[in-house]
Amino acid sequence: MAVSMRSTSVPRWRSDYSAVDDLAAGALVTRYVLVSDRTVGAQVLRALSERVAPVPTRTVIVDDGAGSGFGGLDELLSEARIGWRFVVAGPDHMVGAVRARLISAGAVPSEIAVVITDPDVWMRDVFCAHCHTTSSSVPVAIGGRTPCSGCSAELTVYYHYSRRHSAYLGYRADSEELP
């Protein structure tokens, strides 16, 4: 499957902390919100917090990327104001879900920095183009195959990432051979 990485929608999130530096460029930042899950260690959160000092910082730990795991984040977003910036740190599938939630709450992409804490672990959420079910935290590479959790079809994971759904597109592996 030959795809140009210049034209794909696959996110290019960084695993170094320099993504945080772009948030403050030319802006009056009044608060940083560090969002992570429980896999992110205290040392990483401390390093990120030191990087944005002396601006006031709040830390929110989300339980997971779906359902009620956003409780603390949603509560904090009800207080959000102009000048807030968000740093989301964690595994690929979690940061995508949190980023989508922030944008749906009114944040713009330039107010959000994403730091992947374990770039070698690829768990992906895969959206089935046939039954519209999202299979969560699937250990599959782009171009690989996985069964859909909704319709059980064998899906090929494509180089298309929906930032709104926070999931990669999956289509039936045999779709071109069907009558």
CATH number, domain containing residue 68: 3.40.50.2300
Q: Are residues 83 and 59 in the same domain?
A: yes
Q: 62-121: per-residue pLDDT in tens?
A: 875 444 567 788 888 888 888 899 999 988 878 888 988 898 889 988 899 988 887 666
Count the domains in the chain: 2
CA distance 128 to 108: 27
CA 48 to centroid of chain Cα atoms: 17
Owning domain of residue 40:
18-116
Tell me how far CA of residue 111 lies from CA of 83, 137, 148, in angstroms.
Answer: 9, 26, 34
In a domain, 178, yes or no: no
Considering the domain architecture, whether residues 84 and 150 belong to the same structural domain is answered as no
- Higher confidence at residue 163 or residue 69? 163
pLDDT at 88: 93
Residue 99: φ, ψ to 5°: -60, -45
Q: Which amino acid belongs to residue 120?
A: D
Average pLDDT value for the chain: 82
The string of DSSP codes covering 95-107 is HHHHHHHHHHTT-
Considering only the C-alpha atoms of the chain, give the largest distance between any 2 of them, rounded to a whole number of Å: 63
Q: Is residue 59 in some structural domain?
A: yes
Q: Which residues contact 172 (CB under 8 A, 6 or more apart)?
A: 129, 130, 153, 154, 155, 156, 178
Is 105 found in the same domain as 72?
yes
Q: Tell me, what's the pLDDT at 147? A: 95
Taking the C-alpha atoms of residue 2 and residue 16, their distance in angstroms, rounded to an integer, is 28
Q: How confident is the model at residue 14, as a pLDDT?
A: 65
Residue scoring higher pLDDT (117 or 24) = 117
Q: 129 and 106, same structural domain?
A: no
Residues 165 and 104 in one domain: no
Query: 156: pLDDT confidence band, cut at 50, 70 and 90?
Result: very high
Check whether residue 61 and residue 130 sit in a common domain. Answer: no
- Backbone angles phi and psi of 160, in degrees to 5: -125, 125
The answer to whether residue 12 sits within a structural domain is: no
